[in-house]
């Protein structure tokens, strides 16, 4: 995974509800863990834009509900600070579902995607309708 020149504040914690921004059939997700991060005792595990999380599907198609899935966060409400001094924030917390090999499950992404996600995962650039 490539390092970023952006300071990403970790805004999504365990129990946070995210909207699913792809056409995989899921509507809302709830974060239950983060891939590659072992938490310290007594501390909450947090994630930000570009991090891969484990999530539970809360609403959507009946075949997807109550399943544990991998997802990558593409938008967050908390502002992120870029190297040029600009701050970027979105109106919702959103994620898209990915497979075990980090390939997207859906075929299109609804809404904008942060540039930091595309920097880390080049495979997701083709799905984005807008990259901000």
- Structural domains of the chain, with CATH: 12-131 (2.40.150.20)
Report pLDDT digits (tens) over 3-57: 666 778 888 999 999 999 999 999 999 999 999 876 677 788 899 999 999 999 9
Q: Do 117 and 72 touch, CB atoms closer than 8 A? A: yes
Per-residue model confidence (pLDDT) at position 110: 92
Per-residue model confidence (pLDDT) at position 76: 95
pTM over 0.85: yes
**H or E element that contains 27:** strand 26-34
Distance CA 28, CA 19 (A): 5
Per-residue model confidence (pLDDT) at position 2: 59
- Beta strands 94-98 and 17-20 are parallel
Q: Which residue has the higher pLDDT, 41 or 81?
A: 81
Give the DSSP per-residue string, 64-126: TTT-EEEEEEEE-SS-EE-TTS-EE--SS-EEEEE-TTS-BSSS-B-SEE-HHHHHH-GGGTT
């Amino acid at each position: 995974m490539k390092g970023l020149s952006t300071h990403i504040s970790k805004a999504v914690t365990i129990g946070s509800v995210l909207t699913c921004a792809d056409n995989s059939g899921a509507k809302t997700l709830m974060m239950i863990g983060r891939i590659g991060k072992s938490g310290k005792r007594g501390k909450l595990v947090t994630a930000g834009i570009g991090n891969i999380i484990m999530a539970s599907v809360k609403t959507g198609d009946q075949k997807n509900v109550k399943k544990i899935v991998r997802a990558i966060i593409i938008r967050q409400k908390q502002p992120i600070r870029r190297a040029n001094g600009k701050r970027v924030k979105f109106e919702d917390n959103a994620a898209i579902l990915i497979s075990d090999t980090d390939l997207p499950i859906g075929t299109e992404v609804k809404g904008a995607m942060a540039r930091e996600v595309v920097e880390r995962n080049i495979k997701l650039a083709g799905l984005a309708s807008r990259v901000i």
